[in-house]
Chain A
Amino acid sequence: GNSVTQMEGPVTLSEEAFLTINCTYTATGYPSLFWYVQYPGEGLQLLLKATKADDKGSNKGFEATYRKETTSFHLEKGSVQVSDSAVYFCALSGGNQGAQKLVFGQGTRLTINP
């Protein structure tokens, strides 16, 4: 079945550092890929998405490119802020298992120090 693997956290960076959170997936067919963010005490919010190979999703300075050849969707940001501290989830839906089911990675906790 479909699965998503994220880099283990927690990740701690200083403000203005470059961020990469790795995400790889296993799926057949044509999955769509997502990054969700969960701020402390809140629900999940969609951060960005890509629905086909080579698409780049971007939002709030974050970017991720759907790489079918490496089955990856790494999240990057050039200069992080304290307000980016949260848990980040990579997820996929679709492929041959149908579009309804959203499969999440284990989450990566990010802490940004001033």
Chain B
Amino acid sequence: DTAVSQTPKYLVTQMGNDKSIKCEQNLGHDTMYWYKQDSKKFLKIMFSYNNKELIINETVPNRFSPKSPDKAHLNLHINSLELGDSAVYFCASSQVVLAGGPGSYNEQFFGPGTRLTVL
């Protein structure tokens, strides 16, 4: 009964290749996210989709392209992989409650992560 799942768990590839990571959530949430965790464990948001629409796009190279075929899936495609792309990528989902204002919150549920190693 995995709530947020990602595939693959590990991905080892050569520089210059193109790869994809898939994410699926079965929680019925309307918002999904991609985060990157570097070697020092720092977590930074990359993208967020709400009902298949891009709502957050942080300063990420355009080699990274998210795709949301439906609100339960958010995939991440990376072109021309570079050494600096090596990291753990986490998918997350949430149902935003009362966006903005007192009491609004955004409890995010995370997938197990995909460790990407670029050689």
Contact = CB atoms under 8 A, between A and B. Distances in A.
Contacts of A107: 41-43
A45 B56 CA distance: 22
Given A44-B90, A100-B99, A109 B41 contact: yes
Nearest to B112: A43
B107 A100 contact: no
B102 A30 contact: yes
Interface residues of A, number: 29
B110 interface: yes
Interface size band for B = 20 to 34
A12 interface: no
A36 to B, nearest CB: 8
B98 A106 contact: no
B111 A51 contact: no
Contacts of A101: 45, 48, 56, 106
A99 B104 CA distance: 6
A106 B106 CA distance: 19
Given A43-B110, A106-B40, 4 more contacts: A44-B90, A52-B102, A98-B100, A100-B106
